[in-house]
């Protein structure tokens, strides 16, 4: 149990009294440090409990953990939000206001990083011994500023501003070897000479779940110089700078081509430090590792955990190759998060060989042995697909599949595409490894914390057991025809819309109509996510309003938010285009009664927590087959927004759960897209020939109308034209517009609409990450449940 009101008041007064300035920042610091110390103690107790039990532990290794703010989440999971709120109120503060003092640590790009954070929450909430390993980047993802409609980036150093939730553990530091050369002895022993060592210092962050379960650990590694003598010729100053760089900043997700060396250093640094720490925890004979430890690698980014584990087992513990391989391939499992070719990691062989010679050496042997086991009769293409080393590159996805005991996709369509297409050859060899684990989101952060008003309404209807067992939200289905309840539900949405309006007002936009339909697309900017299609459609609506005095649709507000990777010029032009259209629409005296466009600058987890509860329409419009799962789609449905989307990723399972008539489905199917891609016979020009409205839109684009001057839309025009519209924007635009028409019509019958929204909430329980994590535990990790007795 957390402190009583009296205890907490006393503690708060004591800390706050010592503050120099008695403002919101001081109130935040005082409260946060009290909570931090409380959970840190629980974390230590949990650690002792795990050690004593000798039960299997899971380590989730990920280059990204997109946590969001901690104070609310920790208080809420401790069941202490109310008491903290009361104590602060008595002291003249509002908890909601002081929360805004907390820097949102952006240690992730998007879905993959946020998923890792949701998983941490679910592991702790289910009482499962699962811990995260990551890098303590000094700078998270860049801050986005909009200047004249263009995205500008600036670095953020969250750690300097951050009231620390993590604790440094110097005594648990390990050392990671880079460079140097290998000396191979006749008996097979390998020595690594003249290596340059980097110290990895862990900072441990407590992960508090709901349900008063154990407090797990997210360990963040910081790179520092270590005391070993440097090899001759290595300059001390340069060494120190290069060391600090390793944990300096998170890579944006398209910069695979830039600064490759540093990204590779980060990956090995994380893998090596984490594996060494796992062995240092110890408590079991090395050969029993798979019975005591499961390691999940989040995409291929930490795939070097495979050769690193081999290295430790062979060079450190003297195991033979076969013994080490048997252990490795029973310990490590891999999740794939994308089929986009450009995100499939490949490293130049020479780079690995130079930077991590022993690791390269082991990868070479993995490849050699694997190739030797391949059946005869494979054609050239198949052999390429099955090669770890291919055309002077190391293919991390092949390494990850070969070295893991389980491989999964993140939604059922995605897993099928992996099996039938992207990894077809590997699947033919290892059919038993492949499985699906549809993503989930923590309903604690995304419903209980972000939408307390809806939480209360749900609890009034079905009691609060659903908080522990979110699938019980299904009981809400019995009340779907209760008009009074649906009216209350509508009132909650209205309230959340007004709260959002207030937040956006603070950022300078005064013109949002609370009666308008809140239509939201928030996610990273990418061609396949098709923010372009959304904004082109807004422009089509604007044209119709101008040209047809009888067309006076229900007012709509279109919200956009998201960052484009700094070197992704196309995506940055789409951001510019959204601002250009916003400018036109919002300043048009007629159109602005019906349309309003808002761009949320520097979109992050905290913004998402305000936007999603206020949403009525959830835009999930990726080109079918491209979005591995999506998790925003789940957050929206759980908050009663209706999905307007393609049959892609987890949308498929959402539509299955709620029935297609409770969503607005449109566009090409994954199969159609893949067929077009295989045949190469999609011709955007044919779409233009048939559709005068789209033709006009393109003409406007070419004339520079949508972008303050043609030059700014050059890449967009090229993509839609010369580059043959690779994401099928023109092809799906018409069916997208029709889906919008169906949506607006449905909105006209508010009672029916609320019923549909209610159905979405009722069937969102299966998208809780508690379900996902339980499935991973049952099928992959085999963990036992714990309770912390305090």
Where in the sequence numbering do the catalytic residues fall?
337, 523-524, 529, 631, 635
Q: Which is nearer to ligand 26V, 104 or 648 (CB)?
A: 648
Interaction of residue 410 with ligand 26V, rule CB under 6 A = yes
- Residue 300 C-beta: closest distance to ligand 26V, Å: 9
Q: Which is nearer to ligand 26V, 140 or 213 (CB)?
A: 140
Q: Which residues in 536-595 contact ligand 26V (CB under 6 A)?
A: none
Question: Of the candidates 302, 630, 667, 765, which one interacts with ligand 26V according to CB under 6 A?
Answer: 630
Which among 111-119, 144-152, 183-191, 380-388 is the span making contact with ligand 26V, rule CB under 6 A?
111-119
- Residue 64 C-beta: closest distance to ligand 26V, Å: 7
In the DSSP assignment, the letter for residue 170 is: G
Residues near ligand 26V (CB under 6 A), total: 21
Rounded to whole angstroms, what are the CA distances from 561 to 65, 112, 390? 20, 18, 39
Interaction of residue 290 with ligand 26V, rule CB under 6 A = no
Question: Of the candidates 106, 110, 290, 561, which one interacts with ligand 26V according to CB under 6 A?
Answer: 110
Q: Which is nearer to ligand 26V, 63 or 486 (CB)?
A: 63
Site string for ligand 26V, 215-254 (x = CB under 6 A): ------------------------------------x-x-
Interaction of residue 109 with ligand 26V, rule CB under 6 A = yes
Interaction of residue 256 with ligand 26V, rule CB under 6 A = yes
Interaction of residue 645 with ligand 26V, rule CB under 6 A = no
The CB-based long-range contact list for 413-419 (8 Å cut-off, 24+ gap) reads 413/625, 413/647, 413/648, 413/649, 413/652, 413/670, 414/336, 414/339, 414/628, 414/629, 414/649, 417/339, 417/625, 417/670, 417/674, 418/336, 418/339
Q: Which is nearer to ligand 26V, 109 or 759 (CB)?
A: 109
Q: Which is nearer to ligand 26V, 403 or 409 (CB)?
A: 409
Which among 22-30, 37-45, 103-111, 132-140 is the span making contact with ligand 26V, rule CB under 6 A?
103-111
Helix (H, G, I), strand (E, B) or coil at 130: strand
Q: Which is nearer to ligand 26V, 338 or 604 (CB)?
A: 338
Q: How far apart are CA 660 and CA 663, in angstroms?
A: 5
In sequence order, what are the residues at sequence separation of 6 or more whose Cβ sits closer than 8 angstroms to the Cβ of residue 32?
70, 71, 102, 163, 165
Contact (Cβ atoms closer than 8 angstroms) between residue 394 and residue 346: yes
- Output the residue with the shortest Cβ distance to ligand 26V: 111
Phi, psi of 174 (to 5 degrees): -130, 175
Contact (Cβ atoms closer than 8 angstroms) between residue 2 and residue 12: no
Interaction of residue 528 with ligand 26V, rule CB under 6 A = no
- Residue 65 C-beta: closest distance to ligand 26V, Å: 13
Interaction of residue 337 with ligand 26V, rule CB under 6 A = yes
Which among 104-112, 415-423, 724-732, 778-786 is the span making contact with ligand 26V, rule CB under 6 A?
104-112
Q: Which of 338, 278, 220, 257 minimizes the C-alpha distance to 58?
A: 278
DSSP string covering 638-668, please? HTTPEEEE-S-TTHHHHHHHH-GGGSEE-S-
Interaction of residue 531 with ligand 26V, rule CB under 6 A = no
Interaction of residue 274 with ligand 26V, rule CB under 6 A = no
Q: Which is nearer to ligand 26V, 344 or 374 (CB)?
A: 344
Q: How far apart are CA 224 and CA 240, in angstroms?
A: 8
Which among 337-345, 382-390, 546-554, 740-748 is the span making contact with ligand 26V, rule CB under 6 A?
337-345
CB atoms within 10 A of CB 507: 11
Element housing 177 (H / E): strand 174-178
DSSP string covering 733-775, please? HHHHHHHHHHHHHHHHSHHHHHHHHHHHHHT-GGGBHHHHHHH
Interaction of residue 139 with ligand 26V, rule CB under 6 A = no
Q: Which is nearer to ligand 26V, 222 or 631 (CB)?
A: 631
Tokens standing for residue 508 = 């300078």
Q: Which is nearer to ligand 26V, 565 or 762 (CB)?
A: 565
Question: Of the candidates 30, 144, 631, 707, which one interacts with ligand 26V according to CB under 6 A?
Answer: 631
Tokens standing for residue 626 = 């491209």
Q: Which is nearer to ligand 26V, 111 or 667 (CB)?
A: 111
DSSP string covering 74-106, please? HHHHTT-HHHHHHHHHHTT--HHHHHTTS----
Interaction of residue 628 with ligand 26V, rule CB under 6 A = yes
Q: Which residues in 420-439 contact ligand 26V (CB under 6 A)?
A: 439
Interaction of residue 649 with ligand 26V, rule CB under 6 A = yes
Q: How far apart are CA 512 and CA 501, in angstroms?
A: 7
Residue 167 bridge partners (DSSP): 204
Interaction of residue 627 with ligand 26V, rule CB under 6 A = yes
- Residue 145 C-beta: closest distance to ligand 26V, Å: 22
Interaction of residue 212 with ligand 26V, rule CB under 6 A = no
Interaction of residue 442 with ligand 26V, rule CB under 6 A = no
Question: Of the candidates 343, 457, 503, 788, which one interacts with ligand 26V according to CB under 6 A?
Answer: 343
Q: How far apart are CA 631 and CA 611, in angstroms?
A: 15
Rounded to whole angstroms, what are the CA distances from 765 to 66, 441, 443, 446, 633? 22, 10, 8, 12, 13
Cα 687 off chain centre by: 35
In the DSSP assignment, the letter for residue 232 is: T
Which among 20-28, 429-437, 553-561, 628-636 is the span making contact with ligand 26V, rule CB under 6 A?
628-636
Cα 729 off chain centre by: 25
Interaction of residue 115 with ligand 26V, rule CB under 6 A = yes
Interaction of residue 112 with ligand 26V, rule CB under 6 A = yes
713 burial level (CB within 10 Å; 0-12, 13-18, 19+): buried
Which among 52-60, 625-633, 668-676, 762-770 is the span making contact with ligand 26V, rule CB under 6 A?
625-633
Tokens standing for residue 763 = 């069937």
In the DSSP assignment, the letter for residue 302 is: T
In the DSSP assignment, the letter for residue 209 is: -
- Residue 13 C-beta: closest distance to ligand 26V, Å: 44
Q: Which is nearer to ligand 26V, 219 or 437 (CB)?
A: 437
Rounded to whole angstroms, what are the CA distances from 651 to 111, 518, 622, 630? 15, 20, 10, 8
Q: What residues make contact with ligand 26V under the rule CB under 6 A? A: 109-112, 115, 251, 253, 255-256, 263, 337-338, 343, 410, 439, 627-631, 649
């Amino acid at each position: 149990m957390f402190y009583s009101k009296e205890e907490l008041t006393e503690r708060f007064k004591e800390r706050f009294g010592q503050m120099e300035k008695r403002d919101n920042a001081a109130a935040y610091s005082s409260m946060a440090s009290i909570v931090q110390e409380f959970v840190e103690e629980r974390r230590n107790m949990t650690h002792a409990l795990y050690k004593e039990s000798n039960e299997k532990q899971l380590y989730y290794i990920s280059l990204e953990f997109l946590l969001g703010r901690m104070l609310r989440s920790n208080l809420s999971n401790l069941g202490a939000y109310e008491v903290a709120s009361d104590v602060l109120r008595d002291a003249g503060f509002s908890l909601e206001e002081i929360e805004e003092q907390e820097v949102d640590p952006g240690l992730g790009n998007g879905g993959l990083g946020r998923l890792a954070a949701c998983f941490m929450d679910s592991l702790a909430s289910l009482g499962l011994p699962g811990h995260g390993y990551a890098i303590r980047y000094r700078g998270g993802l860049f801050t986005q500023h909009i200047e004249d409609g263009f995205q500008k980036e600036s670095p953020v150093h969250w750690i300097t501003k951050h009231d620390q939730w993590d604790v440094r553990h110097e005594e648990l530091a390990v050392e990671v070897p880079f460079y140097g050369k290998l000396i191979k002895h006749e008996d097979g022993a390998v020595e690594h000479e003249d290596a340059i060592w980097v110290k990895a210092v862990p900072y441990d962050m407590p992960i508090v779940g709901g349900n008063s379960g154990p407090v797990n650990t997210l360990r963040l590694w910081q790179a520092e110089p270590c005391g070993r003598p440097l090899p001759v010729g290595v300059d001390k100053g340069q060494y120190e700078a290069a060391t600090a760089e390793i944990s300096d900043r998170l890579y944006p997700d398209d910069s695979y081509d830039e600064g490759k060396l540093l990204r590779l250093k980060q990956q090995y640094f994380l893998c090596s430090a984490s594996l060494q720490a796992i062995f240092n925890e110890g408590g079991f004979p090395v050969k029993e590792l798979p019975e005591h430890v499961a390691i999940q690698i989040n995409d291929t980014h930490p795939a070097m955990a495979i050769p690193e584990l081999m290295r430790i087992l062979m060079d450190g513990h003297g195991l033979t190759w076969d013994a080490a391989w048997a252990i490795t391939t029973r310990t490590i499992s891999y999740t794939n998060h994308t089929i986009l070719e450009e995100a499939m990691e490949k490293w130049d062989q020479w780079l690995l060989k130079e930077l991590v010679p022993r690791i390269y050496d082991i990868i070479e042997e993995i490849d050699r042995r694997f190739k030797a086991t391949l059946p005869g009769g494979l054609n050239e293409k198949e052999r390429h697909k099955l090669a770890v080393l291919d055309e002077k590159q190391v293919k991390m996805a092949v390494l990850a599949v070969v070295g893991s005991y389980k491989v999964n996709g993140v939604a059922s369509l995605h897993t099928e595409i992996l099996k039938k297409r992207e990894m077809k050859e590997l699947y033919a060899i290892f059919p038993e490894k492949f499985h699906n684990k549809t993503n989930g989101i923590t309903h604690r952060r995304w419903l209980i914390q972000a939408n307390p008003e809806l939480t209360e309404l749900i609890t009034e209807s079905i009691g609060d057991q659903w908080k522990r067992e979110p699938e019980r939200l299904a009981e809400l289905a019995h009340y779907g025809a209760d008009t009074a309840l649906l009216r209350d539900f509508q009132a909650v949405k209205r309230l959340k819309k007004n709260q959002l309006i207030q937040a956006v007002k603070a950022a300078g936009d005064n013109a949002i109509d609370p009666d308008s339909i809140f239509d939201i697309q928030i996610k990273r900017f990418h061609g396949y996510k098709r923010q372009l299609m959304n904004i082109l459609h807004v422009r089509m609506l604007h044209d119709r309003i101008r040209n047809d005095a009888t067309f006076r649709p229900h007012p709509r507000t279109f919200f956009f938010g998201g960052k484009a990777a700094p070197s992704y010029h196309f995506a940055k032009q789409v951001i510019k285009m959204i601002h250009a259209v916003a400018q036109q629409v919002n300043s048009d005296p007629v159109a602005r009664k019906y349309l309003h466009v808002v761009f949320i600058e520097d979109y992050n987890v905290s913004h998402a927590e305000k936007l999603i509860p206020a949403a009525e329409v959830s835009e999930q419009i990726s080109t079918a087959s491209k979005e591995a799962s999506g998790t925003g789609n789940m957050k929206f449905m759980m908050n009663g927004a209706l999905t307007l989307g393609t049959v892609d990723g987890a949308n498929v399972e959402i539509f299955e759960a709620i029935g297609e008539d409770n969503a607005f489905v449109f566009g090409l199917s994954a199969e159609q897209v893949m067929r077009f891609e295989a045949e190469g016979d999609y011709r955007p020009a044919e779409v233009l020939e048939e559709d005068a409205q789209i033709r006009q839109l393109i003409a406007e684009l070419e004339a520079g109308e949508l972008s303050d001057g043609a030059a700014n839309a050059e890449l967009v025009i090229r993509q839609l034209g010369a580059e043959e519209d690779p994401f099928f924007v023109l092809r799906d635009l018409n069916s997208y517009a029709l889906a919008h028409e169906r949506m607006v019509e449905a909105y006209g019958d508010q009672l029916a609409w609320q019923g549909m929204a209610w159905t979405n909430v009722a069937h969102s329980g299966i998208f809780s990450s508690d379900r996902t994590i339980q499935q991973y535990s049952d099928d992959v990790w085999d963990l036992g449940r714990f309770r912390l007795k305090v």
